[in-house]
A and B are shown apart, each in its own frame.
Chain A
Amino acid sequence: MKFININMTDKTLRIKDVPQAYMGLGGRGLTSTVINAEVPPKCDPLGPDNKLIIAPGALSGTSLVNTSRVSIGAKSPLTGTIKESNAGGTMGAALGRLGITAIIIEGQPTDDKLNTLVIDQTGTPCLVPADELKGMRTYAAAGKLLNEYGEKNSILIIGPAGEYKLKSASIQATDVDNRPCRAAGRGGLGAVMASKGLKAVVVSQEGKNADAIADPEAFKEAAREFAQAIKAHPMTGQMLPALGTAGLVAPVNSMGAFPSLNATQGVMKGWEKISGEALAELIGKRGGNASHQGCSQCIVRCSNEFVDENKNYVTSSLEYETIWAMGGMTGIDDLDIIAKLDYLCDDIGVDTMNTGVGIAVAMDAGRFGFGDGKAALDLVEQIAEGTELGKILGNGPDAVGKHFNHKRVPTVKGQSIAAYDPRGMQGNAVTYATSPMGADHTAGNVIGEYVTGALDPLKPEGQVEASRNTQIAMAAVDCTGLCLLASFPLTTPEGGMAFLKVMNAKFGLQLGPDDIPAMGIRVLKEELAFNQKAGITKEQDRLPEFFYKEPLPPHNKVVLITNEEMDGALNF
């Protein structure tokens, strides 16, 4: 249990015990609590007063399966709000095994030199000059670092988009095959990392200093039960391993809620060509891997390795949200082009969702035709080249809309919506509008209620409550390091009970079922408090006007949730 504090102004590094106020926190709970307590809310997100906080989940580094998420938090240059974006791969587990609760990076160098933070297998940190990595894309730079420090390291890294301090810049994380293809994509955290003069973080995966477990025997037993619950659940046991998240293309289109052609249609013409089924078939035919393990200790294997006709690696993992942003929104129905766009974004270090939506806005504005894959590839390349248009795209859909004077821009607080149209899934309208993170599906995706038929997605009734409950649950899950996609068994009695037992055995607690949502509420309160102090008002908890005015085919609905209802969503 230790903090590593790094001040980039004078390059001092300190290892200290976790302060009492932060004891027991992990992941998003920790990043958000520290930011609310220590970051001046009105600070410049790219200035010296902002802090970049890297925290594994509370269960990361234990033997529990699927617990290698790492949360990265800061005040966001994109949304102006508090931000947590988490990534899979190997970093969460690596930090957990070293007993590192958080890395807190503050201050700002006075020169424009870049550094790499290296943490060895004893947990000792040091800063190393990284000027030779300047301008490098993430695959090449990560490869160079792994050559230098050894394969058994985990890496967080920024690409050219981060170095340009663009508002959609991501922080890329290496997967189990050492590729920087997992992303803390949202909120422009790559720009914050660059503003600290940090190109990469290299952490040994060979740590043997994980925090003690209060009751190791009970933990082992409960962890086994939870793994069984994952295997037994149809979603984590069968569907995600077979289709990955791309399996959502079919259900969301057949519900008429797949925002297409810059959110003017709810069903994409030709969606079958980019569905999870088509993706798995294509990968299978070419000899790629449609059920790949992306992250440490994962038994779900939702990831994939997309290969070209000659079986050469193109990208990993082609996910639903990227297929939507780069395919549905742009009208590009060619998986090969979408896969290349995914790779480019990872390599340049930019959020695939904000970028795909930005391209769609440019297309809708008439700058390019919908479906023009060549133009999309060229545009994304321009981000790395640093052209004027590239920088506009790299700053997100709002910047693109402003540049082309185009009003249909599907963002909230500057961040693009996700692959669920708020008019076709009214609960997600509430989440997009009210999440402290800006429009964000991982903050509270209500789709589970619709696919099970528990809630009518097109009627306003019950949506606020569904969004609230999901936002609370997600805030709690994000504290633990558990992958969101492995969290479905929490809703079954066996899975939920096993998980409670895991938490109690780890921390020597007597938590009951109500304590998990209480944890989520506590995190959301910290985040809302920060946003309020930062000057974010209720008037910003709104969707863009067109969602209230332009009915979405085929259901021809607009967003039906009133402002008063939105305001009550997170009124704790």
Chain B
Amino acid sequence: MGMDVILPDGARISDLLAHLEIPEGSGYLVSMDNRVKKPEDILKQDAVLHILPALAGG
């Protein structure tokens, strides 16, 4: 499963979420190279990203 998303150079995690129409504060996290990223972090070329429910506990 997965999809390709093309964004301009220098795009940030927040741009990706906006592109996918995921509102801020909706409880999703983005991980890139097995690290949780913040909205202001810059996306890397060809990176594999996971957009995940920010679940905690269990």
Q: B8 at interface (Cβ–Cβ under 8 A)?
A: no
Residue in A235, A243, A254, A451 whose Cβ sees the most chain B Cβ within 10 Å? A254
- Asked if A168 is an interface residue, CB under 8 A from chain B, the answer is no
Q: Most chain-A CB neighbours within 10 Å: which of B29, B36, B38, B52?
A: B52
Tell whether, in the assembled complex, residue A451 and residue B58 are in contact, meaning their CB atoms are under 8 Å apart.
no
Asked if B56 CB lies within 8 Å of chain A CBs, one says yes
Cβ A254 vs Cβ B57 within 8 A: no
Contact check: which of A245, A266, A452, A555 meets B54 at CB < 8 Å?
A: A452
Q: Quick one: which of A245, A250, A452 contacts B52, CB cutoff 8 A? A: A250
* Nearest CB of chain A from residue B55's CB, rounded to whole Å: 5
A238 to B26: give the CA distance in the assembly, Å: 10
Whether B58 and A441, one on each chain, are in contact in the complex, defined by CB atoms closer than 8 angstroms, is: yes
**Is B29 within 8 A of A251, CB to CB?**
yes
Overall SS of chain B's interface? loop
Give the chain B neighbours of A267 by CB distance below 8 A.
Answer: 34
A239 touches B55 (CB 8 A): yes
A-B contact count (CB 8 A): 82
Does A248 touch B at the CB level, under 8 Å? yes
B3 to chain A, nearest CB (A): 15
User: With A234-B27, A250-B50, A272-B1 known to touch, is A448 a contact of B56 (CB < 8 Å)?
Assistant: yes
Q: Are B26 and A234 in contact, with the CB atoms below 8 A?
A: yes
User: Is B12 interfacial (CB-CB < 8 Å)?
Assistant: no
Judge whether B36 and A451 touch: CB under 8 Å: yes
Residue A255 interfacial (CB < 8 Å): yes
Give the residue name and chain of the B residue nearest to A457 (CB).
Answer: B36
Flag if B55 contacts A245 (CB, 8 Å).
yes
Interface members, chain B 1-58 (any A CB < 8 Å): 1, 25-27, 29, 31, 34-38, 50, 52-58
**Beta-carbon nearest neighbor of B32 in chain A:** A254
Q: Contact check: which of A243, A256, A447, A452 meets B57 at CB < 8 Å?
A: A447
B53–A247 contact, CB under 8 A?
Answer: yes
A175: Cβ under 8 A from any B Cβ? no
Q: Is the CB of A451 within 8 A of B56?
A: yes
Contacts of A126 in B (CB 8 A): none
A86 within 8 A of B: no
Separation in Å of the B34 CB from the closest CB of chain A? 4
B58 adjacent to A245 (CB under 8 Å) = yes
Task: Say whether B31 contacts A235, CB under 8 Å.
Answer: no
Nearest opposing residue in chain A for B25, CB measure: A234
Residues on the A chain within 8 Å of B55, using CB = 235, 239-240, 243, 245, 247-248, 251, 451
- Beyond A254-B50, A272-B1, whether A447 also contacts B56 by CB under 8 A is yes
A485: chain B residues at CB < 8 Å are 57-58
Contact pattern, A 438-464, Cβ under 8 Å of B = 1, otherwise 0: 000100010110111100010000000
B54 surroundings in chain A (CB, below 8 A): 234-235, 239, 251, 451-452
**A425, chain B: closest CB distance, angstroms:** 11
Kindly state the separation between the CA atoms of A251 and B31 in the bound complex, as whole angstroms: 8
Q: Could you tell me the distance between the alpha carbons of A452 and B29 in the complex, rounded to whole angstroms?
A: 7
List A227-257 residues whose CB lies under 8 Å from chain B. Answer: 234-235, 238-240, 242-243, 245, 247-248, 250-251, 254-256
Q: Are B29 and A320 in contact (CB under 8 A)?
A: no
Please report the C-alpha to C-alpha distance between residue A402 and residue B37 in the assembled complex, in whole angstroms: 41
Q: Distance in Å from the Cβ of A265 to the closest Cβ of chain B? A: 12
Complex contacts, B52 vs chain A, CB 8 Å: 250-251, 254
- Once bound together, how far apart are the Cα atoms of A245 and B35, in whole Å? 21
19 more CB-based (< 8 A) A-B contacts, given A453-B36, A485-B57: A234-B26, A234-B27, A234-B54, A235-B27, A235-B55, A235-B57, A238-B27, A239-B53, A239-B54, A242-B53, A251-B29, A255-B34, A272-B1, A276-B53, A319-B58, A447-B56, A451-B56, A487-B57, A488-B56
